[in-house]
Structure 1
Amino acid sequence: MPNHGSSAAPRTSPRAGEVAPIIPILARKVREVEAKSNRGKVGPTNRTRFQVIALLVRDERSRIRDDSALSGNTRSELLKRLDGIATILARIAARDTSLLSLLDSQTQPGPSAQRMRNEWLLSSGAELSEEELQIKAPAPARTPVVSASLAQKQVVPAGVPKRLKARPFAPPVFPSGTSPAVGHLSGWDLLEPLYRSFEQGAGGGAASMPLPPSPRIDQYSPKPLELMAHQLQLLESVKQGHRSFLLADEPGLGKTAQSVIAASVAHAYPLLAVVPNVVKINWAREVSLWTPRRKVSVIHGDGRDVDAFADVFVINYEILDRHLGWLSKFGFRGMVVDEAHFIKNLSSQRSQHVLALADQIRRSTPDGDPLLMALTGTPLINDIEDFHAIWRFLGWVDAEGPTPRLRQALEAIGRTPADRAFYPEARTAVVDQGIVRRVKTEVAKDLPARRVVDLPVELDDDLGRSIRQAERELGARLAAKYRALTASRSPREGWDLDIMRHVAEGELEASRSASSGENVFTMVRRIGQAKASLASDYTAQLAHSVGKVVLFAKHIDVMDTAERLLAEAGLRTVSIRGEQSSSTRQRAIDAFTTDPGVSVAICSLTAAGVGLNLHVASNVVLAELSWTAAEQAQAIDRVHRIGQEEPVTAWRILAAHTVDTKIAELIDAKKGLAARALDGSDEEIVSTTTVQVDALVHLLMEALEG
């Protein structure tokens, strides 16, 4: 394949009268990529598809224009079909602007893109020469940690230059890269088979690497603290030399403590911890608690108060961009990313900054094997490809596929992805790189039970009636679209679920871009507003009878209503919201956990659903629903965690006779992504978007029945 995508067209053998047999293949592939894009996710494999489609559209357009054997009408028709494909590419790139660089004719395709291009051409009947079939490695390009656009934003805390000068004889760094393995998997695109190996589950096998036995005596934690057996097992693995972990323990099992002490065991100082803003101060406390001899410095704003001679540096995602310069040169020997699902979107700057720093730390660590830990109880939210950014952070894969250590393990299987038996062994090979997943029912058997109790409430006021009317109008609108698409069908043929989903997906796409009018998102928000007073009343009753209560809501106006009504009921409250500074948020948490006079913590479902320890309460009120089971579980796990001594009850307030009850039913029935990928279950994998579409299909069915 000369020049990595040369416009020189291969000779083709037309199939079934098709003048340009590659065009139907490109049309099918671009629709597959668009479908992924519509669900908000263009992962690595589909990015490669996007690039290959663009390359082949460009090549085919040149070939058609230069082919004198084609009639004018045929040429126009073929170019029109290619323009249609190009239009879809432009639409996809408009949603994810990081794809625009792949449309540049100067962008060289990597080995995976070259192999994919050849496969598609061969399947279209093309005849490729030996030179064209040869996979060429593109010139290596190292992306700088600090891009030109960020250079002006960089800050350097005052003490950092002194720290760097204080270690003029730092140990030398030797290249640690291993040559890519050449074996029977050479030429295979392995990323997609690896995702599929997790999608298929493992017949009941949990995705957790073998760990050493727990020592009988805890020699890691400072007295009088004591670690649990599952925490000690991970630290034993660190002691034995393992250095990269996706620590995916269920929320509440002490992941922060494990990572803090792991740095001590591995002598991985200085250590960088990148964390959500909401837990920044709590992280500093955990460092001081579990490793009291180590100094911790929290980076705020421009870092004016940074102690450059600290052992552990804690920074939040939001300000990482302005500190990339000095962080990349500081000589960190370890890095922890807390709530690592935050980096799942490879096109986001947040993800790119984290990955660039991790690459730099790998290059600057003398043995090339720093301590890298990704902490998240919910590594998968919407898509199995959510794994990719975390795997890249840990150094298990890069943009092209597995890095040498994982590739060597895959080669040792002795099979290829064409063999069904490859997949469970491939999953094990990835797990053994460092996935650790424990669930509460296995390792914290003494943790009290938890349950979710639904409390249906009647919305019998004007707002409730308007919500039900809006639901009927939305259902009627969906039904009209469905009937228009099925006008030629016989009633005896019944309903077409595929067309129903097509109608629902179109409505969902329109709802996301709508600036006004009634849609599923505005309707769900209005339901939350209508439930606010009822949820607040029930919270007040609980607080008077059982003590401290945590109330979760999704929208600020619902939180405001709860705050006002609970104050009118004579209860002191604190709020934990996304716009607060970390110090303000921590004062609110401390007041709730230590002040007997504070009865209720009113928390944002998105901003306070991670990293907080609120086990001083045992009752949770969910005033609004999330679109995912994971987000709901994260909220409940702020209370149901190590240290909880009472059974935990989550009271879920549902608006009866509205779509609210259907959404609750859907998220309960479809929790399968993490269960299948990590816990080996056979549950169905369903994304956030699928729940939203199913809710709209429910409204459509009700309208058709009515």
Structure 2
Amino acid sequence: MQLFPHQQRALQETEKFNRVAYYLDMGLGKTFVGSEKANSFPENIILICQKSKIQDWVEHFRQYYAMGVFDLTDKKQFEEFQGTVGRFVGVINYDLVFRRSYFAHISGFTLVLDESSIIQNETAKRSKFILKMKPKNVILLSGTPTAGKYEKLWSQLHLLGWEISKDLFYKQYVEIEWIEDHNSGFRIPQIVGYKNVDRLKRKLAEHGAIFMKSEEVFDLPEQVIIPVYSKPTKEYRKFMRDAIITIDGREYIGDTILSKRIYARMMCSYLNKGRVAAFKDLVQSTEERLIVFYNFNEELNTMQEAIAELERPISIVNGSFKDLTAYEEASDSITFVQYQAGAMGLNLQKANRIIYFSMTDRSELFEQSKKRIHRIGQKKPCFYYQMICPGTVEEDILHTLELRKDYTDELFKKYQESFDR
């Protein structure tokens, strides 16, 4: 395996640590850095990742390392793995590991967490379980460990061996203001910024954490954002006013903030004929590879129907299906990617154009989606077509994402209040 200079530097700077965090920007090859660090220890390796990345990790270790590799989501391989003598790698996903009591009783292994930001909520079952595991060595990998929010690092700090309480961490590094909640009448804390950031980064470095941005390493191509507008429909306006509407025989009832927010977004995307027509026009305007991000299954169905007559090769990545054959083999392919399933971890730099048929409401997924094409190996400028209905919740979501914040029910409620006025 031939590492890039920045990857070699990350390993050299953490050579003395047995607990490390490689917070390398998407595209800088943290997979190779993490596996090389893990291979430097003689202990067996337990690697925890997202379900969609299981096979990628299994194939990576089988290709580059002479040791047994087991897919622990497979019951037969899991049974074989438990009886194996000698050095091995076991790969399992976050949502399954805490259901296997075996991992609560072992110790003295190398623990690798891919996309370690997944354990940022220390109260979640998977986080609690992982924080109680007894590894000898720890390797954390993430391209966006905090999504710009340092308070989300706290659970990861404990795995690195920094035993600082949550209260003390907040007092030293997080700026909080207390605001009045008009619904409950109580004052609630709100994070408004950070303090002592340089000291925080020094402390992280002392505990084996490496931060590295793409722009610090490579001169990546230009990123060009192109808005694609479509008018909001009269059905959208009516629904926002009345919270109920029937479209093509289906009744949409926004009886909660969440349901109203979801249906409002649907009415801006696949239920908006102008959006669908604009999408078809975009696809017809180029024979280049296209990556299309979407949220809802209905969006995928609608998009496929809209371009069926074009007979373009299609790949799909979502929660139940992953096939990148057309992407790999056809220069005019269209690859549909559901945010949750593919915004994190896919290498799609054969393409240089992304269409956002609809926007995610999660900042981390949005930031990572952009880096699927803007990464090592990309030689062309990257174009991002953001499909937006002006004056709707979509515009509000995009503004929030540009601030690197998640779009929540509370923000939608404020938007709805301004809409009503």
Instruction: Please give the TM-score of this superposition, normalised by the length of structure 2.
Output: 0.81
Which residue pairs with 1:275 in the alignment? 49
What are the superposed Cα offsets for residues 17-71 of structure 1, whole Å, 9 maximum, x if unpaired?
A: xxxxxxxxxxxxxxxxxxxxxxxxxxxxxxxxxxxxxxxxxxxxxxxxxxxxxxx
Deviation at 1:699, TM superposition (A): 4.3
Match of 1:397 in 2: 163
1:558 aligns with 2:299: yes
Does residue 634 (structure 1) correspond to residue 368 (structure 2)? The answer is yes
Question: 2:98–2:130: 8 Å Cα contact kept in structure 1?
Answer: no
Q: 1:320 aligns with which of 84, 97, 111?
A: 97
Secondary structure of 2:100's counterpart equals helix
Deviation at 1:350, TM superposition (A): 1.3
The 3 A distance-change label for structure 1 pair 666 and 385 is closer
Q: 1:603 to 1:535 in 2, by over 3 A?
A: farther
- CA deviation map 1:178-223 (0-9, x unaligned): xxxxxxxxxxxxxxxxxxxxxxxxxxxxxxxxxxxxxxxxxxxx2x
The structure whose residues are more often strand, as a share, is 2
Q: 1:546 to 1:396 in 2, by over 3 A?
A: farther
Residue 467 (1) aligns with residue 244 (2): no
Whole-Å separation in 2 of the counterparts to 1:624 and 1:639: 18
Matched, 1:256 2:28: no
Which residue is equivalent to 1:356? 132
Q: Note if 1:623 corresponds to 2:379.
A: no
Q: Aligned to 1:457, which of 207, 214, 230? A: 230
Cα pair 2:160 2:208 within 8 Å, conserved: no
2:257 is matched with which residue?
511
Give the conservation status (yes or no) of the 8 Å contact 1:551–1:620: yes
SS at match of 2:379: coil
- Determine the structure 2 residue equivalent to 1:601: 335
1:443 to 217, 227, 234: 217
1:217-239 deviation digits (Å, cap 9, x = unpaired): xxxxx2xxx32222111111243
Structure 1 counterpart of 2:95, which letter? E
Over 3 Å counting, the alpha-carbon distance change for 1:321 and 1:376 in structure 2 is: same
In the alignment, which residue of structure 2 is the partner of 1:700? 417
Report the secondary structure of 1:454's partner residue: strand
Instruction: Give the Cα separation in 1 of the matches to 2:25 and 2:113.
Output: 16
Q: What pairs with 1:94-243 in structure 2 (closer than 5 Å)?
A: 222=1, 226-239=2-15, 241-243=16-18
Provide the C-alpha distance between the structure 2 equivalents of 1:421 and 1:469, rounded to a whole number of angstroms.
45
* Contact persistence 2:235–2:267 (CA under 8 A): no
Residue aligned with 2:77, SS: coil
How big is the shift at 1:556? 1.1
User: Conserved in 2, the CA contact under 8 Å of 1:269 and 1:312?
Assistant: no
Match of 2:69 among 296, 306, 319: 296
Shift of the alpha carbon at 1:426? 5.0
Letter in 2 for 1:449: E
The aligned runs of 1:645-684 (5 Å cut-off) are 645-668=379-402, 670-671=403-404
1:423–1:252 Cα change, 3 Å: closer
Relative to structure 1, the CA distance from residue 564 to residue 353 in structure 2 (aligned partners, 3 Å threshold; closer, same or farther) is farther
In our comparison, the structure showing a higher alpha carbon Rg is 1
Q: Which residue of 2 aligns with 1:570?
A: 311
Distance 1:426 1:238 in 2: 18
Query: The residue matched to 1:286 in structure 2 has which SS?
Result: helix
Task: Tell me how far apart the structure 2 counterparts of residues 344 and 553 of structure 1 sit (CA, whole Å).
Answer: 25
| C-alpha separation in 2, matches of 1:454 and 1:693 | 26
State the Cα distance separating 1:421 from its structure 2 match. 9.7
CA–CA separation in structure 2 for the residues paired with 1:576 and 1:648:
21
> Matched residue of 1:624: which SS?
coil
Distance, in Å, in 2 between the alignment partners of 1:612 and 1:310 is 29
% identical aligned pairs: 18
User: What code does the residue aligned with 2:6 have?
Assistant: H
Shift of 1:568: 3.0
Closer/same/farther in 2, CA of residues 473 and 430 from structure 1, 3 Å limit: same
Cα separation, partners in 2 of 1:376 and 1:473, compared to 1, 3 Å: same
- Which residue pairs with 2:172 in the alignment? none
Pick closer, same or farther for the CA change 1:528–1:422 going to 2, 3 Å: closer
Distance 1:535 1:579 in 2: 27
User: Structure 2: how far apart are the matches of 1:421 and 1:658?
Assistant: 35
Residue in 1 that maps onto 2:177 = none
Answer yes or no: is the 8 Å Cα contact 1:301–1:319 preserved in 2. Answer: no
Give the RMSD, CA atoms, in angstroms: 3.0
Paired residue type of 1:248: Y
Which secondary structure does the structure 2 equivalent of 1:233 belong to? helix
Structure 1: 5+ residue stretches without partners: 1-221, 404-419, 475-507, 672-685
- Secondary structure of the structure 2 residue equivalent to 1:621: strand
1:354–1:393 CA contact under 8 A, matched in 2: no
SS at match of 1:606: helix
Question: What is the DSSP-based 3-state SS (H/G/I as helix, E as strand, rest coil) of the residue aligned with 2:271?
Answer: helix
Partner of 1:522: 263
C-alpha separation in 1, matches of 2:49 and 2:257: 32
Change in CA separation of 1:546 and 1:571 when aligned onto 2, cut-off 3 Å = closer
SS of 1:248 mapped into structure 2: strand
Cα deviation 1:254-312 (Å, max 9, x = unaligned): 11111011112x324311110001111111232244x3334422222324365535522
Q: Do the aligned partners of residues 323 and 638 (structure 1) sit closer, same or farther apart at CA in structure 2, a change above 3 Å counting?
A: same
Preserved contact between residue 230 and residue 390 of structure 2 (Cα < 8 Å): yes
User: How far 1:694 moved relative to its partner?
Assistant: 4.2
Once the two structures are superposed, what CA deviation does each residue of 1:591-616 show, in whole Å capped at 9, x if it has no partner?
13432277111111111111111111
Distance 1:253 1:422, change over 3 A: closer
CA contact (8 A) 2:154 2:166 kept: no
Measured in 2, the distance between the counterparts of 1:333 and 1:539 equals 51
Quick check: 2:116–2:140 contact (8 Å CA) kept in 1? yes
1:346 aligns with 2:122: yes
What is the aligned partner in structure 1 of residue 283 from structure 2? Answer: 540
Seen in structure 2, the aligned counterparts of structure 1 residues 448 and 324 have a Cα distance that, compared at 3 Å, is farther
The structure with the largest helix share of the pair is 1
Q: How far has the Cα of 1:422 moved from its partner?
A: 7.1
**Paired residues, what number?**
381
1:163-187 Cα deviation digits (max 9, x unpaired): xxxxxxxxxxxxxxxxxxxxxxxxx
Q: Matched residues in 2 for 1:535 and 1:395: separation? A: 52
Aligned partners of 1:652, 1:423: CA distance in 2, in Å? 33
Deviation track 1:339-389 (CA, whole Å, cap 9, x = no partner) reads 1121122222111222222xx12xxx4xxxx2x122122222485432122
1:549 maps to 2:290: yes
Q: Report the more deviating stretch, 695-704 or 311-320.
A: 695-704
Using the alignment, how far apart are the partners of 1:303 and 1:395 within structure 2?
35
Identify the residue that residue 118 of structure 1 maps to in structure 2: none
Aligned equivalents of 1:276, 1:558: Cα separation in 2? 24
1:472 shift after superposition: 4.1
Kept after mapping to 2: 8 A contact 1:540/1:571: no
Measure, in 2, the Cα distance between the counterparts of 1:509 and 1:269. Answer: 54
The secondary structure found in structure 2 opposite 1:607 is helix
Query: For 2:312 and 2:399, how far apart are their aligned partners in 1?
Result: 33
Deviation at 1:521, TM superposition (A): 2.9
